[in-house]
Structures are given as C-alpha cells and as structure tokens.
Amino acid sequence: MDFRDRGMNLFREESVQKVDTGLSTLLYIITYGAMIFFGILAFVFLTAIMQGALNAFSAISLAISAGLTFGCYVLRNNQRIEYDYTFTNGMLDIAKVINNSKRKKLLSADIKEFEIIAPISDEGFNRMLNHPGIKKLNYFLNRGGGLYYGVFTKDGVKSLLVFEPSEEMVALFKKVNPRNVKER
C-alpha cells in the first residue's frame, strides 16, 4: 500500500555537520587573518597603481595578493561545511551548505528508485564500491559512524551514494521502499 493513499505526509530534515576539531578551528582563524592581511596588501598595490605607479612589480604583486586573498577565503569557508538531507514524501534532497551562507543543491532522488539502501557494513558495499562505471557520490562528514550507501540510476547513470542519515530517516526510507532498505 502506498503511504500517499493513506493521507500520510512523510517529512524529515537533518543537518550533518563536521565534528569541530581544534585543528579546523585553528585553520579557520589563521585563514581568516591571512585573508584580511592579503586583502589589505592587494588594496595597497591597487592604490599604488591607481596613483600612477603602474609597473610590473605592482601589477604582479596585486595579482598575487588578490589571488592569495581569494584562496584564503575559499579555504576558510571550507572549514565550515555541512550537508542538509531533506526527505519529503519519498524524495530525498541533499544540499551542501558552506559557512552557513551558501547553499548548493547536490542531489534529488526518489527513494522508490533505489536498488538498495544499507549500512556500509553490508556485504554488497565493497562490491558496488569497486563496480566499474558507477558514479560515486559522497555526501557525508563522518560524525563517527552511521554511514549508509544507496544505489540508484538517474538520467541513465548508475550512482553509489554514501551518506549519513539518522535511524529515523532510514525508517522513513523503509516505509517508502520496504524491500530495498536495510536497517541496522
């Protein structure tokens, strides 16, 4: 029996955040300071060029310091990444959230179309991991276990998804696709 026939709405939203280590916090602080330093340096070289001191040294220094500013910005933001899993009436949507400000949709898939969803301890995981021609999608930050894999085909491409749903979300998957979802 289909859950929609009974008037049920199945919904769950979860955020998977990287466990904050001292190293990632230190790297965030260092890159933030370096970003400010190189940004000021780029501004100084830009000001020098605007005042008529256009020479090769100023131009190269501006390009290098602007590039380092951007690199520090990207590195800093990559220290604060999380994945949002949203399950709504059989559809799983996964988005990557960078530094709590930029959201990028990564995947939208129907749970009914999954061949299998199981813990990575399942015997089929290694076989699928080494399967030639399968696209691998890793949307997890490894909070210390609880990894699942799912195999599905979308737009003619067979994909292996590795992610970290909660047991509650897996139970919802099982309601939608009872034959192909294995719980712990």
pLDDT (tens digit, 9 = 90+) per residue, 78-123? 888 899 999 999 999 999 999 888 999 999 999 999 999 999 999 8
pLDDT tens digits, one per residue of 55-83: 899 999 999 999 999 999 999 998 888 99
Judged against a pLDDT cut of 80, whether residue 2 lies above it is answered with: no
Computed over every residue of the chain, the mean pLDDT equals 90
* For the chain, domain boundaries: 22-77
Per-residue pLDDT at 7: 53
Mean pLDDT, residues 9-19 taken together: 88
Distance CA 15, CA 34 (A): 29
Residue showing tokens 């491409």: 157
Per-residue pLDDT at 178: 96
CB under 8 Å to 115, separation ≥6 — which residues? 151, 152, 153, 180
Please say whether the beta carbons of 173 and 116 come within 8 A. no
Q: Which of 19-28, 98-107, 163-172 has the lowest mean pLDDT?
A: 19-28
